[in-house]
Amino acid sequence: MTKASRTVDQVTLPNYEEIELVWRDERAKTHKALWQGRAVVLKKCDVWNDSSVAKELMNEAGVYKRLQTLQGRYIPKLLLAGVTDGMDMVLVTEFVGADTSDELLDDSALVKIQEAMVAIHEMGASHRPENIIMQNHGLNAKFYFVDFGFLHFTVDKAELLEETETLNSLLRAMSSAC
Protein backbone atom coordinates (compact mmCIF):
# COMPACT_ATOMS: atom_id res chain seq x y z
CA MET A 1 0.00 0.00 0.00
CA THR A 2 1.30 3.47 -0.78
CA LYS A 3 1.94 6.01 1.96
CA ALA A 4 -0.91 8.19 0.67
CA SER A 5 -3.40 5.32 0.70
CA ARG A 6 -2.83 4.82 4.42
CA THR A 7 -4.45 8.20 5.05
CA VAL A 8 -7.84 7.18 3.59
CA ASP A 9 -10.53 5.14 5.22
CA GLN A 10 -10.80 1.38 4.90
CA VAL A 11 -14.26 0.75 3.43
CA THR A 12 -16.47 -2.12 2.46
CA LEU A 13 -18.04 -1.68 -0.92
CA PRO A 14 -21.57 -3.08 -0.84
CA ASN A 15 -22.71 -5.08 -3.85
CA TYR A 16 -23.50 -3.03 -6.90
CA GLU A 17 -24.87 -3.76 -10.33
CA GLU A 18 -22.93 -2.35 -13.24
CA ILE A 19 -25.24 -0.54 -15.61
CA GLU A 20 -22.67 0.84 -18.01
CA LEU A 21 -18.91 1.11 -18.28
CA VAL A 22 -18.41 4.85 -18.74
CA TRP A 23 -14.64 4.98 -19.05
CA ARG A 24 -11.77 2.54 -18.87
CA ASP A 25 -8.10 2.51 -19.49
CA GLU A 26 -5.39 0.11 -18.42
CA ARG A 27 -5.31 1.68 -14.96
CA ALA A 28 -8.86 2.44 -13.80
CA LYS A 29 -12.55 1.97 -14.49
CA THR A 30 -15.53 4.27 -14.12
CA HIS A 31 -18.98 2.71 -14.06
CA LYS A 32 -22.49 3.98 -13.95
CA ALA A 33 -23.96 1.54 -11.46
CA LEU A 34 -26.94 0.77 -9.31
CA TRP A 35 -25.84 0.81 -5.67
CA GLN A 36 -28.16 0.61 -2.69
CA GLY A 37 -31.13 1.34 -4.96
CA ARG A 38 -29.73 4.49 -6.55
CA ALA A 39 -27.81 5.38 -9.70
CA VAL A 40 -24.19 6.20 -8.91
CA VAL A 41 -20.83 6.75 -10.53
CA LEU A 42 -18.30 4.27 -9.21
CA LYS A 43 -14.60 4.82 -9.86
CA LYS A 44 -12.04 2.24 -8.83
CA CYS A 45 -8.46 1.22 -9.34
CA ASP A 46 -5.99 -1.23 -7.87
CA VAL A 47 -3.90 0.51 -5.21
CA TRP A 48 -0.91 -1.80 -5.72
CA ASN A 49 -0.64 -1.56 -9.49
CA ASP A 50 -2.07 1.89 -10.14
CA SER A 51 -0.65 4.16 -7.46
CA SER A 52 -0.83 7.32 -9.62
CA VAL A 53 -4.53 6.76 -10.32
CA ALA A 54 -5.10 5.86 -6.66
CA LYS A 55 -3.53 9.20 -5.71
CA GLU A 56 -5.89 10.97 -8.13
CA LEU A 57 -8.88 9.24 -6.53
CA MET A 58 -7.57 10.04 -3.04
CA ASN A 59 -7.17 13.67 -4.09
CA GLU A 60 -10.70 13.63 -5.48
CA ALA A 61 -12.05 12.22 -2.21
CA GLY A 62 -10.24 14.97 -0.29
CA VAL A 63 -11.64 17.61 -2.63
CA TYR A 64 -15.18 16.33 -2.11
CA LYS A 65 -14.71 16.58 1.65
CA ARG A 66 -13.27 20.08 1.40
CA LEU A 67 -16.11 21.19 -0.93
CA GLN A 68 -18.76 19.50 1.22
CA THR A 69 -20.97 22.61 1.32
CA LEU A 70 -21.25 22.49 -2.50
CA GLN A 71 -22.25 18.81 -2.68
CA GLY A 72 -25.68 18.25 -4.16
CA ARG A 73 -25.81 21.83 -5.43
CA TYR A 74 -22.81 22.37 -7.73
CA ILE A 75 -20.97 19.07 -7.41
CA PRO A 76 -22.34 15.53 -6.92
CA LYS A 77 -22.70 14.13 -3.41
CA LEU A 78 -19.86 11.89 -2.30
CA LEU A 79 -21.32 8.63 -0.99
CA LEU A 80 -18.21 6.53 -0.28
CA ALA A 81 -14.45 6.83 -0.64
CA GLY A 82 -11.65 4.67 0.61
CA VAL A 83 -9.60 1.52 0.16
CA THR A 84 -11.38 -1.84 0.15
CA ASP A 85 -10.09 -5.07 1.63
CA GLY A 86 -9.35 -6.17 -1.92
CA MET A 87 -7.03 -3.16 -2.13
CA ASP A 88 -9.06 -1.19 -4.64
CA MET A 89 -9.33 2.55 -4.17
CA VAL A 90 -13.01 3.34 -4.71
CA LEU A 91 -14.95 6.55 -5.00
CA VAL A 92 -18.74 6.53 -5.27
CA THR A 93 -20.79 9.64 -6.05
CA GLU A 94 -24.39 10.17 -6.93
CA PHE A 95 -25.12 9.99 -10.66
CA VAL A 96 -26.26 13.48 -11.64
CA GLY A 97 -26.72 13.38 -15.40
CA ALA A 98 -25.07 13.50 -18.78
CA ASP A 99 -22.10 15.29 -20.28
CA THR A 100 -22.97 18.71 -21.74
CA SER A 101 -20.42 18.65 -24.56
CA ASP A 102 -23.05 18.01 -27.25
CA GLU A 103 -25.67 20.34 -25.81
CA LEU A 104 -26.76 23.71 -27.10
CA LEU A 105 -27.24 25.83 -24.00
CA ASP A 106 -29.52 28.82 -23.52
CA ASP A 107 -28.71 31.93 -21.49
CA SER A 108 -30.27 30.59 -18.28
CA ALA A 109 -28.08 27.48 -18.51
CA LEU A 110 -24.98 29.62 -19.00
CA VAL A 111 -25.83 31.63 -15.89
CA LYS A 112 -26.30 28.45 -13.83
CA ILE A 113 -22.95 27.05 -14.97
CA GLN A 114 -21.16 30.32 -14.25
CA GLU A 115 -22.79 30.42 -10.81
CA ALA A 116 -21.43 26.94 -10.08
CA MET A 117 -17.92 27.94 -11.15
CA VAL A 118 -18.04 31.08 -8.99
CA ALA A 119 -19.03 28.96 -5.97
CA ILE A 120 -16.15 26.56 -6.62
CA HIS A 121 -13.70 29.44 -7.06
CA GLU A 122 -14.92 31.09 -3.83
CA MET A 123 -13.71 27.94 -2.06
CA GLY A 124 -10.27 28.46 -3.68
CA ALA A 125 -10.60 25.48 -6.02
CA SER A 126 -9.08 25.54 -9.50
CA HIS A 127 -10.84 23.04 -11.75
CA ARG A 128 -10.88 22.24 -15.46
CA PRO A 129 -14.06 23.94 -16.69
CA GLU A 130 -14.89 21.34 -19.35
CA ASN A 131 -16.10 18.74 -16.83
CA ILE A 132 -19.73 19.82 -16.69
CA ILE A 133 -22.67 17.47 -16.25
CA MET A 134 -26.29 18.40 -16.89
CA GLN A 135 -29.23 16.98 -14.97
CA ASN A 136 -32.64 17.38 -16.62
CA HIS A 137 -33.31 19.76 -19.47
CA GLY A 138 -35.12 23.05 -19.92
CA LEU A 139 -35.99 25.35 -17.03
CA ASN A 140 -35.31 22.67 -14.40
CA ALA A 141 -31.80 21.92 -15.63
CA LYS A 142 -29.07 21.75 -13.00
CA PHE A 143 -25.37 21.74 -13.75
CA TYR A 144 -22.59 20.06 -11.81
CA PHE A 145 -18.82 20.08 -12.08
CA VAL A 146 -17.22 16.63 -11.81
CA ASP A 147 -13.90 14.79 -11.97
CA PHE A 148 -11.70 16.33 -9.30
CA GLY A 149 -8.65 14.08 -9.55
CA PHE A 150 -6.42 16.95 -10.69
CA LEU A 151 -8.19 19.78 -8.89
CA HIS A 152 -6.03 21.88 -6.64
CA PHE A 153 -6.64 24.74 -4.27
CA THR A 154 -5.08 28.14 -4.86
CA VAL A 155 -5.16 31.75 -3.78
CA ASP A 156 -3.87 32.86 -7.19
CA LYS A 157 -6.63 35.15 -8.51
CA ALA A 158 -5.02 35.28 -11.96
CA GLU A 159 -5.25 31.48 -12.26
CA LEU A 160 -8.92 31.52 -11.29
CA LEU A 161 -9.64 34.40 -13.68
CA GLU A 162 -7.94 32.53 -16.54
CA GLU A 163 -10.05 29.49 -15.74
CA THR A 164 -13.21 31.64 -15.75
CA GLU A 165 -12.25 33.04 -19.15
CA THR A 166 -11.71 29.50 -20.46
CA LEU A 167 -15.15 28.52 -19.14
CA ASN A 168 -16.78 31.56 -20.75
CA SER A 169 -15.14 30.73 -24.09
CA LEU A 170 -16.36 27.14 -23.82
CA LEU A 171 -19.87 28.30 -22.94
CA ARG A 172 -19.99 30.71 -25.88
CA ALA A 173 -19.21 27.78 -28.17
CA MET A 174 -22.03 25.77 -26.58
CA SER A 175 -24.52 28.63 -26.57
CA SER A 176 -27.66 28.43 -28.68
CA ALA A 177 -27.51 32.22 -28.94
CA CYS A 178 -24.45 32.04 -31.24
Segment 63-84, tens digit of pLDDT: 999 999 999 999 999 999 999 8
Intervals of CATH 3.30.200.20 along the chain: 4-94
Q: Which CATH superfamily is domain 4-94 in?
A: Phosphorylase Kinase; domain 1 (3.30.200.20)
Question: Whole-prediction pTM value?
Answer: 0.86
The residues, ordered by sequence, that sit 6+ positions from 104 with a Cβ below 8 Å of its Cβ are 174, 175, 176
- For residues 123-134, average pLDDT: 86
CB atoms within 10 A of CB 73: 13
| The pLDDT of residue 6 | 44
Tell me, which fold does domain 98-174 have in CATH?
Answer: Transferase(Phosphotransferase); domain 1 (1.10.510)
Intervals of CATH 1.10.510.10 along the chain: 98-174
The packing angle between helices 107-122 and 157-174, to 10°, is 160
Do 85 and 44 touch, CB atoms closer than 8 A? no
In this predicted structure, the answer to whether residue 48 has a pLDDT above a threshold of 60 is yes
C-alpha 127: how far from its chain's center?
10
Do 144 and 119 touch, CB atoms closer than 8 A? no
- For residues 22-35, average pLDDT: 85
In this predicted structure, the answer to whether residue 102 has a pLDDT above a threshold of 80 is no
**Least reliable range by pLDDT among 13-27, 37-51, 60-74:** 13-27
**Least reliable range by pLDDT among 8-12, 70-74, 174-178:** 174-178
In this predicted structure, the answer to whether residue 44 has a pLDDT above a threshold of 80 is yes
Q: How confident is the model at residue 39 (pLDDT cuts 50, 70, 90)?
A: very high
| The pLDDT of residue 70 | 97
| The pLDDT of residue 164 | 92
Q: How confident is the model at residue 1 (pLDDT cuts 50, 70, 90)?
A: very low
In this predicted structure, the answer to whether residue 4 has a pLDDT above a threshold of 70 is no
In this predicted structure, the answer to whether residue 110 has a pLDDT above a threshold of 70 is yes
